[in-house]
Structure 1
Amino acid sequence: MGQLQPQKNVYAVIDLGSNSFHMLIAKSIAGGLQTIGRVKRKVRLAAGLDENNVLSTEAMQRGWECLALFAERLQDIPKKNITIVATATLRLATNADVFKQKAEQILGHKINVISGELEAKTIYKGVAHTSACSGKQLVIDIGGASTEVVIGQGFDALHYKSLHMGCVTFLERYFKDQKLSNENFAAAIKAASDVVAEIVDEYKATGWQIASGASGTVQAIQEIMVAQNQDELLTLDKLLAIKEQSVQFDTIADLELAGLSEERRLVFVSGLAILIALFESLDIKQMGLARGALREGVLYSMVPELHNHDIRKRTVDGLMNRYHVDQKQACRVAQLAEQLAKSVMGQWQSIDDNAIALLRTVAKLHEIGLLIEYKLYHKHTAYIIENTDMPGFSQSEHKLITAVANEHRADLVKNSFAHLGCHQVLAECLTRVVRIAVILSMRRQDDVLPAIDLSVNENTLTLTFDGDWLKYHPLMASELQLESKLQAKVGWKLIVK
């Protein structure tokens, strides 16, 4: 057999963290990135650092064994498409060179030990490329031996700091006896607050509109909250409640919280203590989970065609290309839906500029399910959207887009938006508008419609056509009549005249 050819559009990032080693493999496709492989191993490198920052042979051995696994996967990827970064533990270790030398031999590749500042900026870049925040964003990433705190805007980090505290080092220091006591928590929170003190004034003065957590600790807390039927936004009250639940258990080995995975358990309480200190010191009101972090930041830096400033556009265009959507029809429905929504914008409080952007997204993607089959294509569309990563959209926006796509045609189901909580009303409004736009675009031609007007009075939508156009278009008239009946079934009133 001949030599296998490396795939030019495949990229790999390896992140040698203080708690875990990660490998992310992605393919550049249809103007976006598709993850095709992820390998993660808990190495707990930071646990091998002694008080003089000498890394133990046991910890190094754990790291080398993990990298031997990763090396196998790197053989098929072009050398220039591989980046390997190491963070806090290898910055701190006085004998890091010993580890690095053997690691580079195993991987056949250079390892970049990056500074805390560069790590913070790269984490921010990973978050910025996978979320859409128009204002200033606070990003926090609690690692094994360092915690990065960044305020940025757009793609630029404005303030960035790497703080010497992490869930592995704090576990060794403040929970060494493995006891879940109030004393251990208090000591860890106080120590973390002392470390955070140096950035408090500068960060509070800068301010931010949205806070995101890019670490396993934040994800673990979110999973616990979901298991306890709470929404996914972190607040100080929720963190303190989880701390109270934790101290009911004797030791870390006994800790059993609904939603807490086995692999997170060991470093969970130390990460929680650090997060409580950050919430208290910086006066953080609420925080969501970021989609990207260090690995995504490195990845987006490597793929030049992704340096596109409109992340949402990149995501939507990529999906339309991948599922061979009729672009003209998608834009036709999107323009019509936007026109209809703008005519009721004043009367429907929930419709603002972001709502219209989400409506355009649904309209552009509504036909991706046609690639599977026609009869239930709206269900296929919703399934594809729900199970696809959508950089640029928050978790709640992603759920809203999925729900509206699922109900954009055919029978409506009563209370189908109840799971969206505070976004339920908006989802109903967008669904009513997009359903009308899809019907009005059914001829898939431009300039076939007369002047139309949509108005709203409380819960009643009135769609008015110019002159007697409907009389000469009986199919359209009957489709709109049927739509009026379908909406009435779920308590919505649509009058066509």
Structure 2
Amino acid sequence: MMADTPSHTQPLYAVIDLGSNSFHMMISRLVADSVQVVDKVKRKVRLASGLDANNRLDQKSMARGWECLSFFAERLQDIPAKNIQIVATATLRLAVNASDFIAKAETILGHDIKVISGDEEARLIYLGVAHTTISQNNRLVIDIGGASTELIVGHGFEPQLMQSLPMGCVTFNQKFFAQHQYTEQAFAGAEQQARQVLAPYAQSFCDASWESTLGVSGTLQAITEVLSAQGRLPIITLAKLQELRQKVIACGSLEQLNINGLVNERKPVFASGLAILLAIFQALDIDELQLAGGAIREGLLYELLPNMRNVNIRIRTLNALIIRFNIDERQAYRVADIADQACQQLRSSWQLPDHYRSILQSACVLHEIGLQLEYKGNKQHAIYILQHADLAGFSAPERLLLCALVGNYKTDLDLALLQRQTFADVWSACQLLAVLRLSVILSKRRKDDVMPEFALTGVDKSLQLTLPDAWLKLHPLISAELKQEILDIAKLDIELTIVRV
């Protein structure tokens, strides 16, 4: 049986980043104002390792690059040229014979390659973060590449201070860890060199007064993977970096570099990237860093797409999930409206911060996401989806809180989910969950014109829900569920009372 041919398909977009360590290709399409990645290809070319003392690329490294691009070319054949963007970064900025590489590369790909400046690279990196990661205040973005490191401070979609620095995990690996021996002296040399490179710019970045620090690139990804594999929060601090430094030194060499969570392909440049990040943390007095959701490829992609700055990041993500998982949109926002009313009524007593309430609103919209798979076990399905879906606009801690709320939106409670999340303190998470669960119960009729007038007050760990007696008499099943909720919500250390008026 043949499926009907669709009347149209969404166009594909391709972006390629010829980095100093890896070449990346990302192919995407636009679904409900949200980007859906349909393919990614990555090859460790380590182009920067082919630069000699005179910044001339050797033939061997260029051949590796050309071979990789021949693979990429296959995927570009059916994508309109106007939907393709290809850029080259630090190594091809530096190489005196870059034109030799680029001429053949353009022939292989059948498309032009743009060698971008350090400032343009920093701008695109920042845009990639801005389009995929929400941050209310000024933020510092760090990208440690193979031959350069970009530092950017910005707000919203606007970078305000940018600097591309001539240090990267591949070039520093060649200079300080060429024999793949990890010693105190090698780390000290790499860190001292990085601090010297940073010195002329450190004060201006410190004066920029950012409130959050986000990181992109393979080095940052590798470090967070190591932390996660060890059962630790994927939030990078100076103490954790210093601990990792000692573990690498204890291993002694690349052959003995066995750290839980560190993948083989990242091992050759892990020590050098770690040394650079340590120097940045110390020079800029950074408290903690979280991994961001996008980087230069996302920056390139969103530049290709129309009017993407006009849609809130989270709204884009929620709309895409509503369509993809066939969520009842009216019911989703009905529950969100009730939760918003509840939070307004509790504002003076429970004082839930706006950034917590934002995650609650998202949980309201997505609480039925698991129903697309089946009713039984839908909460477990929802947790799995939210753990593995692309959630642009949600940091890793925000994602954990979202999972904890959606995974507990009704019936039995899994308190471990609340305890594992770190975005909110446990009591605040319990408060958010109480509001979500009551909002779901009150909207069970799934009709706007039968929603009750209600009043919700909270004092310390008590919660009082006032409802019209006539409405409760017309809804005996909801009344019974509210009585059960008194017992269930007690497990959150919340005393719920229902008052009839």
TM-score category (smaller protein): over 0.9
Distance 1:463 1:288, change over 3 A: same
CA distance in 2, matches of 1:472, 1:104: 72
Could you tell me which residue of structure 2 aligns to residue 452 of structure 1?
454
| Structure 1 residue aligned with 2:165 | 163
Shift of 1:466: 3.4
Spell out, residue by residue over 1:28-82, the C-alpha distance to the aligned partner (whole angstroms, 9 max, x if none).
1121111111111111100000111010001101111111111111112111111
Q: Do the aligned partners of residues 8 and 430 (structure 1) sit closer, same or farther apart at CA in structure 2, a change above 3 Å counting? A: closer
Number of the residue aligned with 1:239: 241
CA distance in structure 2 between the aligned counterparts of 1:46 and 1:100, rounded to whole angstroms: 15
Which range is displaced more, 69-78 or 377-386?
377-386
Please say which of residues 353-362 and 95-104 is displaced more in the overlay. Answer: 353-362
- Code of the aligned partner of 2:314: R
Partner of 1:485: 487
Q: Do the aligned residues in 2 keep the contact of 1:8 with 1:78 (CA within 8 Å)?
A: no
- In structure 1, stretches of 5+ residues that fail to align are 1-5
CA contact (8 A) 1:13 1:83 kept: yes
CA deviation after TM superposition for structure 1 residue 322, in Å: 2.4
Out of 226, 229, 239, the residue aligned to residue 228 of structure 2 is: 226
Residue in 1 that maps onto 2:388:
387
Letter in 2 for 1:407: N
How far did 1:371 drift? Answer: 2.4
Q: Do the aligned partners of 2:10 and 2:30 also contact (CA within 8 Å) in 1?
A: no
Match for residue 313 of structure 1 among 310, 315, 324? 315
1:449 to 1:35, Cα distance in 2 relative to 1, 3 A: closer
Matching residue of 1:412: 413
Amino acid at match of 2:392: P
Correspondence for 1:252 among 251, 254, 259: 254
CA spacing shift, 1:326–1:422, aligned 2, 3 Å: closer
Structure-2 separation of matches of 1:93 and 1:278: 26
SS in 1 for 2:251: coil
TM-score norm. by structure 2 comes to 0.94
Higher mean C-alpha deviation, range 320-329 or range 121-130? 320-329
Local SS of the residue matching 1:443 = coil
User: How far did residue 489 of structure 1 move?
Assistant: 5.2
Matched letter for residue 376 of structure 1: G
Q: CA deviation at 1:118?
A: 0.1
Instruction: Give me the whole-angstrom Cα distance separating, in 1, the residues matched to 2:29 and 2:471.
Output: 50
Q: Which residue of 1 aligns with 2:4?
A: none
Report the alpha carbon displacement of residue 340 of structure 1 after superposing the two structures with TM: 1.2
TM-score, L = length of structure 1? 0.95
1:3 matched residue in structure 2: none
Amino acid at match of 1:218: L
- Offset, 1:364: 1.2
Q: Percent identity?
A: 46
Q: Which residue of 2 aligns with 1:19?
A: 21
State the match for 1:494 in structure 2.
Answer: 496
Structure 1 CA distance, aligned partners of 2:59 and 2:474? 84
Please name the residue that 2:48 is paired with: 46
Partner of 2:276: 274
Which residue does 2:219 correspond to in 1? Answer: 217
In the alignment, does 2:343 pair up with 1:341?
A: yes
The residue number in structure 1 matching 2:3 is none
Take 2:449 and 2:311, find their aligned partners in 1: how far apart are those partners? 33
Question: Gapped runs of 5+ residues in structure 2?
Answer: 1-7
**1:132 match:** 134
Letter in 1 for 2:126: Y
Checking the alignment, whether the CA contact within 8 Å between 1:308 and 1:314 is kept in structure 2 is no
Cα 1:95/1:489, change in 2 over 3 Å? closer
Give 1:9's aligned residue.
11
Q: What's the counterpart of residue 141 of structure 1?
A: 143
Mapped to 1, the partners of 2:417 and 2:85 lie a distance apart of 45
Query: Does the 8 Å CA contact 1:46/1:145 hold for their aligned counterparts?
Result: yes
Q: What is the identity, as a one-letter code, of the residue corresponding to 2:393?
A: G
- CA deviations over 1:279-310 (Å, ceiling 9, x no partner): 11111111110110000100111011423341
Contact in 2 for aligned 1:140/1:213 (Cα 8 Å)? yes
C-alpha displacement at 1:251, in angstroms?
1.7
**Amino acid in the other structure paired with 1:333:** V
Q: Which residue, out of 63, 66, 85, partners 1:64? A: 66
**8 A contact 1:7–1:77 mirrored in 2:** no
- Secondary structure, in 3 states, of the residue corresponding to 1:234? strand
Q: Which shows bigger deviation, 111-120 or 411-420?
A: 411-420
| Deviation of 1:417 (Å) | 1.6
- Displacement of 1:485: 2.7
Match of 1:286?
A: 288
Provide the C-alpha distance between the structure 1 equivalents of 2:43 and 2:434, rounded to a whole number of angstroms: 47
Offset of residue 7 of structure 1: 6.5
- In the alignment, the residues of structure 1 paired with residue 195 and residue 491 of structure 2 have an alpha-carbon distance, to the nearest angstrom, of 56
- What are the Cα deviations for residues 194-246 of structure 1, in whole angstroms up to 9, with x where unaligned? 11112112111111010011111111111222233321111111111111111
Q: CA deviation at 1:332?
A: 1.3
The amino acid across from 2:106 in the alignment is E
Distance 1:456 1:98, change over 3 A: same
SS of 2:421's partner is helix
**Greater alpha carbon shift after TM alignment, 239-248 vs 117-126:** 239-248
The whole-number CA distance in structure 2 between the counterparts of 1:450 and 1:177 is 72
The answer to whether structure 1 residue 441 and structure 2 residue 443 are counterparts is: yes
Post-superposition offset of 1:178:
2.0
One-letter amino acid of the structure 2 residue matched with residue 361 of structure 1: S
Q: Match for residue 123 of structure 1?
A: 125
RMSD of Structure 2 on Structure 1 (CA): 1.8
How is 1:82-231 mapped onto 2 (pairs within 5 angstroms)? 82-231=84-233
Cα distance between partner residues in 1 of 2:268 and 2:460: 54
CA contact (8 A) 2:430 2:492 kept: no
Aligned pair 1:401/2:406, yes or no? no
Quick one: distance in 2 between partners of 1:151 and 1:427? 31
Aligned-pair distance for 1:150? 0.5
Q: 1:427 Cα deviation (Å)?
A: 2.5
Amino acid at match of 1:438: V
Listed as ranges, the matches of 1:291-302 within 5 Å are 291-302=293-304
State the one-letter code of the partner of 2:79: I
Q: CA deviation at 1:470?
A: 2.0
